[in-house]
Amino acid sequence: MSKKYIIFDFDGTLCNTNDIIVESWQAAFEHYLGHRVPRREIEATFGEILVHTIGQKIPDAPVQEVVDYYRAYQDANQQGQVHVFDGIRELLTELRARGCKIGVATSRTAYSFWNYMKQFGLENAVDEVVTMNDVTKHKPHPESITAVLSKLTGLAQDELTEEILEQSVMVGDTKYDVGCANNAHVDSVIVDYSHYIDEEDMAASGFVPTYRIDTPGQLLELI
């Protein structure tokens, strides 16, 4: 494939936040349910917005209270728990050198996203970003991708051409990233270097990744 617009998810794709996310959920489950849950049950929720997961897993608790508890735990315990995946810095540098435009479409809040990007010195490594604060409909709805493409191209979302969509690819670690790409009619790459992916759940979702990679560097081989 030949691509100009490379759009990344953040969690589990650019940065390994998996452990602190799992720990934060376990803390919330212990607090509100009185028990922990299997790690893979939490990994299956990766890519969901918090309020959806809370509604499914802790339905009797006040949603905003759980959100605040989860975020407070993560903020207080993230030190040493988060790191940039090996090869990501080199990948972003090489994509820039090849003339690609780099976007991020994340379900994190803008504050949380930029906090991590600045912490790891990546704040200038991407061209445009769309966070959960910038969209009204979340992945797998296509808005996250069309919104960041709008920023990258300077065109309104309804003015994005078929050529631009063909030149775009979404790189992520969950079925929600793949679904967002499928619904936006752009190619997708799912990463296998992050965490366990339930293939049966992926198949049941109806979302189909265009490509798979085992390391960040393999993306360069594709484009």
pLDDT at res. 204: 94
Looking up tokens 């265009």 gives 210
pTM above 0.85, yes or no: yes
**pLDDT score recorded for residue 121:** 96
Sheet with strand 211-213: strands edge to edge: 128-130, 101-105, 5-8, 168-172, 187-191, 211-213
Residues 111-127 have pLDDT tens digits of: 999 999 999 999 999 99
Asked if the model's pLDDT at residue 215 lies above 90, the reply is yes
Per-residue pLDDT at 1: 62
* Pairwise CA distance, residues 60 & 117, whole Å: 34
What does the alpha-carbon distance between residue 208 and residue 206 come to, in Å, rounded to a whole number? Answer: 6
What is residue 211's predicted lDDT score, i.e. its pLDDT?
A: 96
Residue with tokens 């509100």: 32
Tokens found for residue 70:
């989860």
User: In CATH, which superfamily holds the domain spanning 5-16+83-222?
Assistant: HAD superfamily/HAD-like (3.40.50.1000)
Distance (Å, rounded) from C-alpha 8 to C-alpha 172? 6
Identify the band that residue 223 occupies on the pLDDT scale cut at 50, 70 and 90: confident
Average pLDDT over residues 122-133: 96
Give 87-120 pLDDT, tens digit per residue.
Answer: 999 999 999 999 999 999 999 999 999 999 999 9
**Sequence-separated (6 or more) residues with CB below 8 Å from residue 204:** none
Mean pLDDT of 8-35: 97
Residues of the chain above pLDDT 90, percent: 94
Question: Stretch 74-83: mean pLDDT, rounded?
Answer: 93
Give which of 109, 128, 106 is closest to 180, Cα–Cα. 106
Segment 28-72, tens digit of pLDDT: 999 999 999 999 999 999 999 899 999 999 999 999 999 999 999
pLDDT digits (tens, 9 = 90+) for 140-194: 999 999 999 999 999 999 999 999 999 999 999 999 999 999 999 999 999 999 9
Residue 222: band (very low, low, confident or very high) from pLDDT cuts 50, 70, 90: confident
N- to C-terminal Cα distance for the chain? 5
| Spatial separation of the C-alpha atoms in residues 21 and 46, rounded to whole Å | 9
